[in-house]
Amino acid sequence: MKAKFNHMEKLRISLIIVFIISCLVSFSQNQTDSIMVEKRMGTVFIQNGKMLKVRQLMEITKSNPDAYAKMKVANTNNGAATAFAIGGGFLIGWPLGTALAGGDPNWVLVGVGAGLIAISIPFSIGFSKNAKEAVSIYNRGLIIPETTKVKLNFGISNNGIGIRVAF
């Protein structure tokens, strides 16, 4: 009687271990593929603990056509925001540099630069909104590939009842 109890106890422990492993594999797969959105000094996208650049987001979302379409719009908005902001910064910085050097600055350029920076803000907001939507679509579309699922097969072998675990 004691031998059967030990065998059943081993079987129960084995099942618990297999269950825990399958949960960990499933959880880790979802965590490593998904993209996190964080609000810092702007919107930051993180995957596997690394901050992603726009170019990397474009590459990652290519696997999901809907997410990629949104990311294309976000990329266009980002390009426009960057162009207007850089132009505006230059037009503000040049006269300020002239003033600091003791020259006579052209304050009209500062006004035009401020206007360009103001124009860049809606594009920046559009980038953030569309990129967040692209990431959301991408994350919803994630599935665990068949190769990472844990398969349990119960059966009878020469040694008795057994469990086969396939990853």
Highest mean pLDDT pick, 41-45, 93-97, 145-149: 93-97
Highest mean pLDDT pick, 34-43, 44-53, 115-124, 146-155: 115-124
- The whole-number pLDDT of residue 17 equals 75
Q: Rounded distance, CA 130 to CA 72, Å?
A: 9
Q: Is 73 exposed, middle or buried (0-12, 13-18, 19+ CB in 10 A)?
A: middle
- The whole-number pLDDT of residue 9 equals 75
- The whole-number pLDDT of residue 49 equals 87
Q: Rounded distance, CA 57 to CA 123, Å?
A: 18
Region 109-117: mean pLDDT is: 96
- The whole-number pLDDT of residue 33 equals 77
User: Beta-carbon neighbour count of residue 127 at 10 Å?
Assistant: 23
Of 67, 64, 115, the residue nearest 87 (C-alpha): 115
